[in-house]
Structure 1
Amino acid sequence: MPDLADWTPRMPPRQAPMEGRFVRLVPLDAAAHRDALFDITASDPQRFRYLFEQPPADREALQPWLDQAQASTDPLWFTVIDRASGQIVGRQSYMRIDRVHGVIEIGSILWSSLMARSPASTEALYLFAKHAFDDLGYRRFEWKCHNDNQPSKQAALRFGFSFEGVFRQHMVAKGANRDTAWFAMIDGDWPLIRAAFEAWLDPANFDDQGRQRRRLADIREALAGAGA
């Protein structure tokens, strides 16, 4: 266990773009991003099943949420932009930012179907985790979801989060009970997880059709076995 005698509160995440090979994460701009964010919500309304808000009926209905999101610092919202097309393909946020204890969560994620079968979501997660751990020195990076949300739980495990249990009757969401599954990675986990992300995202890991050669979990397992 590290010595925390000289621990100090962490800085908040920077409201600045994060650059990857496949995606850019850009602070949400209510005016500039409205139409694209509405388009991905309108095309994927089923993705709101486990989010706290309802899909907007039209662009005007989305505007109050966008204005609130742009003004917010917790959650701190980013849009996900596909570098190849320049198209907005999702949104995500840092939330429950606990600077005193160095704990931060990625949440309220809406990754559209445009990110499916591509490295975009993996890199979007990696960029958030890297900023939290490497740039800001947070100790813990969390992922939480409705316990019924099997794809979200599978994604958390694929990314390298550890399952920590279920908080029963944790929330009332959209008029129904929510049991919340908790996942986290900590600073001691991060060097191996980061190395696996970077090996997976390397161009050499993809064939001419953009298909992965090695799975992220397999890379992580191999690195762990080698004592990375």
Structure 2
Amino acid sequence: MSDLNHWQSAKLPDTRTLQGRFVRLEKLSAARHGDGLWEALEGPTADPRLWDYLFVGPFPERNTFDDYLAGLEGSVDPWFYTVVDQQTGNIDGFLALMSIVPSAGRIEIGHVTFGASMQRTPKATEAVYLLARESFALGNRRLEWKCNADNARSKRAAERFGFTFEGTFRQHAVSKGQNRNTAWYSIIDSEWPYVERAFDAWLGVDNFDNGQQVRKLEDLRSQPLTE
């Protein structure tokens, strides 16, 4: 967006549930979502690598996990959403909108904590899409994604979702006693129509055959944007 003559500050996220085809995003509630999140993130089928690149976790004790969730629920920035499966009602993880700067129209998707049940599935893609769509609907000009530069899974996800790599911030943070270099990615508002169109097409019913994708998200994004 080069012309700011008519642009106004972005709005803040609110408690509305964001509805998708595969999942819905509900404002995180420790009371309503705690049991499901514990099962998805720390249960017997949980991803053993889940907490490797996150600033917190793992949580061997439930009371410590519950205290953590209570803090997430009370947070304004980051603003946390729980991922709920539309068909089963099962809880699959959480993620957040964060680094919220309405005056600049800048916001970030972060704290992506997905259980094994939704990793590499349409549910994971749709959860990110719903927050991206909400970010631009709130009037933001820039959507960010940041991750540990050693986290190959998160970097690959950012690229697949349509974020542009902007560089690496060296010695940006310390996580669990280790240096963290941070990889930065973004989508800006002029790019969003292409990215959104590809998300919509990829998530469509006709793009799946017996649960397998017909066309890749990256391929759909390369098509020209038409009216």
Alignment TM class, shorter chain as reference: over 0.9
Cα offset, 1:227, TM superposition: 6.0
Q: In the alignment, does 2:31 pair up with 1:9?
A: no
Paired residue type of 2:201: A
Cα distance, 1:195–1:169 mapped onto 2, change above 3 Å: same
Consecutive unaligned residues of structure 2, counting only runs of 5 or more, are none
Question: What percent of counterpart residues are identical?
Answer: 46
Corresponding residue of 1:218: 219
> Secondary structure of 2:174's partner?
strand
Bigger CA drift: 112-121 or 162-171? 112-121
**Unmatched segments (≥5 aa) in structure 1:** none
* Matched position secondary structure for 2:213: coil
> By how many angstroms is 1:157 displaced?
0.3
Partner of 2:78: 75
Residue 45 of structure 2 corresponds to residue 51 of structure 1: no
Aligned partner letter, 1:122 = T
Please say if residues 41 and 114 of structure 2, whose CA atoms lie closer than 8 Å, have aligned partners that are also in contact: no
2:126 matches 1:123: yes
The equivalent of 1:35 in structure 2 is: 35
**How big is each residue's C-alpha offset from its partner over 1:138-158, in whole Å with a ceiling of 9 and x where there is no partner?**
000000000000010000000
The one of the two structures with greater contact order (alpha-carbon pairs below 8 A, sep at least 6) is: 2
Deviating more after overlay: 193-202 vs 8-17: 8-17
Shift of 1:55: 1.3
C-alpha displacement at 1:116, in angstroms? 2.8
Q: Distance in 1 between matches of 2:138 and 2:125?
A: 20
Give SS of 1:47's match: coil
Specify the alignment match of 1:202 in structure 2. Answer: 204
Aligned twin of 1:167? 169
**Residue aligning to 2:159:** 157
Partners of 2:120 and 2:54 in 1: CA distance: 22
Task: Measure, in 1, the Cα distance between the counterparts of 2:57 and 2:116.
Answer: 18
Q: How much does 1:118 deviate?
A: 2.0
Superposed CA offset, 1:159-204 (max 9, x none): 0000000000000111110000000000000000000000111100
- Distance (whole Å) between structure 1 residues aligned to residue 95 and residue 74 of structure 2: 15
Contact 1:36 1:88 in 2 (8 A): yes
Q: TM-score, normalised by structure 1?
A: 0.94
- 1: CA distance, partners of 2:203 / 2:221: 13
- Residues of 1 paired with 2:34 and 2:135: CA distance? 27
* Aligned Cα root-mean-square deviation (Å): 1.3
CA gap 1:154/1:117 in 2 versus in 1, 3 angstroms: closer
Query: In the alignment, residue 19 of structure 1 is paired with which amino acid?
Result: Q
Return the structure number with greater helix share: 1
Q: Is the Cα contact below 8 Å between 1:10 and 1:99 reproduced in 2?
A: yes
**Number of the residue aligned with 1:188:** 190
- In structure 2, the partner of 1:88 is 91
| Partner SS state of residue 114, structure 1 | coil
